Structure 1
Amino acid sequence: MPFNRLCLLTASLSGVLLSFPLWAQQGLTGEYYRGTDFAQKVHVRIDPTLDFDWSTRPPLPDLDWSYYSIRWTGGLRAPVSGQYTFYCGVDDGIRLWVGKHLVIDEWHLTPYRHYEGQIHLVAGRTYPIRIDYFNDIHGGRIDLRWERPDQPDRWFGWLSDPGETIPTVYLHPPSRPNRPRQPAVTPDIPLVLLAKKALPVKPKREPTAQTWITRSQPRPVDDAPPLIIRPVTGPPPVVAPLSLLFAPGSYELTPASRQQLDSVLVYWKKNPPGRIEVVGHADRLGDRGLNKTLSEYRARVVMAYLTRQGIAPTQLRGRWHGDEQPLTLDAMPTRRARNRRTLILSHYD
């Protein structure tokens, strides 16, 4: 019977589509966070296009109407070669990367308005794309559009929004899922003990430092023994700065890092420092430009957390060095975590 066969075929196709993992669908992977600094992830989904108006409702039931942030990542395929113009209509802040280039950087509060940036793309190539977005108070709004080099001029184009919404067919999520995060380092366990636990039962003899250091990998700037972080009860942490560790490719504060910050905040509230330096770092894996941005975000996330806990913004000074100042050799994975850090130094002068 044709009708029954059609029903069975439709049910089968629906089951196949629903069984696809997120990274196999078309669109961009959207990571939704509570707070404006990507601090607490609440949901991950695939968004076919970026054209959202949340001025009267939150993006998700688990988010508030205000104070959230979203990161979209994936690939963008260029249909033709030439100069592309990207338009982002946004309320509030937006950063857009295409390939290795920061095309739009408007990370500040603003009512809804359009920003634009240009980049040359080659037909047939797929470029990594990333959009960071945050909304502060009240509702948010964001749309991502482009103007292709082969797009004809439109009559009375000034009456409508510039460009066109990027079709889903040119967008896809990252080709494979993200690697699992490493377990958080507890504040009272020396890092050297964690490294020993990660080694095989019968480890081979490790090469000397001279064997690993090459011209392309600078000598570590600090070869001091591992730092043990404990709640601050004595003098302010100036000689031994507070060190927060991060997972690979992440600038999300771990529960252990929050515990470290809460411990030092107890002392600071009784003995306020004159100024606090927050210095972000990254390991040497991946693109150096992106590592510099990652170290900046790690420092800014810590500064935002301290500000929410009552530290005046005028007391904070942020710096970021990317992968330029490693503590240990990245060729040794068990110790590489020490390079993914943010240092916090308090000054009472």
Structure 2
Amino acid sequence: MTYFYWSTLLLCASACLPTTAQTLPAHGLAATYYNGENFEEAVVERIDAQLDFEWHSRPPATGISKEHFSVCWTGFLEAPATGLYILHLTVDDGVRVWIGNRLLLESWRNQYVTDGQVRVRLEAGKVYALRVEYYQNALESRLVLGWERPDVSMEDFFSGRPIFEPIPTRYLWTALPVPPSEVREAGTPVPPAALAARPLPVAKPAALGSGGPGWIVPKAPARAVVPPDTLPVRLDGLAQLTKGQRLTLPNLYFTQSTADLLPSSRPTLNALARRLREQPAMRLEIAGHTDNVGEAALNLRLSRQRARVVRQYLVQQGIDSVRLAARGYGGTRPVADNRDPQQRPRNRRVEVVRQ
């Protein structure tokens, strides 16, 4: 009786706990694997972290044959910087790539390992519908979709570090990373389940273009899914700051232990950019801070990286870089007691300091 009483009480209590209003979708792309080169038999549905596959002569998934199969990936691509991206494709055999529901690259034919590329302009903070279709005929099978970002520094260029990389998982989303009410324009990918019912387009003859022989590169620009800058973030206290005073930026979120901004941070940063445009004489230090958990050196580096990412975002919004300085202080300037787990998160913050 006692066990039953306490079990019932716990169940009732858990039912009353608040739930989060919104959960961000998963990173990666939704994939459907088919037996048959023309999407005949859907067998496996899963989420793939990124498009970087070299299956050799092995089946790509359980229940899929090692030859004569096809795959469709759908989702959304987030642009971390504004400018011209070079998209790289390595494929064996056929592939088609849509961005913003427009065919951007096509090489739909049997072929040995082939490389192609195309340039496309994307804007920072915008999310683009992405669909990739692939088929394998026989022998080796390979598919890599990567990019070369426009914000590669000369230091990176001459350091020997690779400039081209498979598109990282953190910039790929299985669904829109913003609520539908926050989307002004949506280019929704065709659901994988609908592919089996639709006729495949006839492969066009090979043409020369920036993608190289055998690659068709349409010239039309991609359409973007644009999160609007209309959320109620005002930063009213910024205008009243005097020299040396600071303001903690609210609702600024990063992936844990990284400097990767989450999409939910954009309204705050867009509001900050708006304020800076309204006050062209204002100069700010962007100061990153952490708590004291972990190694001090790593915390210092992380705080610097986060401050630089915020600065970079503002520069991409048109703010003169001369007006912005980015510095990291690690855990050396706490505003709350690090010994109290309830207070410690306040120390993980990014501030702006009037210069």
**Same-fold status (TM-score > 0.5):** no
Q: Please, what TM-score do these two structures have when normalized by structure 2?
A: 0.43
Q: Please, what TM-score do these two structures have when normalized by structure 1?
A: 0.43
